[in-house]
Amino acid sequence: MNTEAITEKIKLTGFKTDSYKEVLTEEALNFLVVLHEKFNKKRLSLLEDRKIYQAYFDAGNFPNFPEETKDIRESDWVCAPLPKDLLDRRVEITGPVDRKMIINALNSGSKTFMADFEDSNSPTIENILDGQINLRDAVNGTISLYDERKG
C-alpha cells in the first residue's frame, strides 16, 4: 500500500502490506475523522493547559483535586459485578503481540492473556497493526504460524 487515499480526509503512506487495510478499514478511518473533528479543539486546549500545569509544578507546587469535583470523589461508588471470566485471575500472562508469542501465551495454560502493546513492543505503526491482526486471528481461532526453519 504505497501512497493511497483511503478516505477524502486521510491519506496513508508507506505501509508494506495490504493486510493493514484489514485493520485500517475505510469505516475505521472515517471514525477517526469523526473523533478528530469532534475533539481536536478540546485536545489542543488540553495540551496548552498541560504547559500551564507543568510550569505550576516546576515552580514547586503539588497537584491537587479541583473543588468542583469534590462531590464525585466523596460519593459512594458502586460498580457492576465482575464478569465470570474475570473472577479467577490467579494465573495470567502478559506478553507481546507478535504472532509466535500470542500462540505461546494461549498454549501456556494460564487463565488470562493480556496483550502488551506498550512495554514489550516497539510502537511502530507496523508492529501496532501486526499486533491487531494477530489478536483478531487469535480471537477468531484462526491464528497460526509456520516456521520456515523448523518446517
- What distance in Å separates the CA atoms of residue 7 and residue 24, rounded to the nearest whole number? 11
**Nearest-CA neighbor of 121 among 97, 94, 92, 93?**
97
Find out whether 101 and 138 touch, Cβ atoms under 8 Å.
no
73 has pLDDT over 80: yes
Residue 134, H or E segment = helix 125-139
- Mutual angle of helices 125-139 and 99-106, in 10-degree steps: 30
Maximum alpha-carbon separation in the chain = 64
Per residue in 96-146, pLDDT tens? Answer: 999 999 999 999 999 889 999 999 988 888 889 999 999 999 999 999 998
Partners of 92 in beta bridges = 112
pLDDT of residue 6: 53
**Which pLDDT score, from 0 to 100, does residue 3 have?**
39
Q: Please state, in angstroms and rounded to a whole number, the distance separating the CA atoms of residues 134 and 113.
A: 13
pLDDT value of residue 133? 95
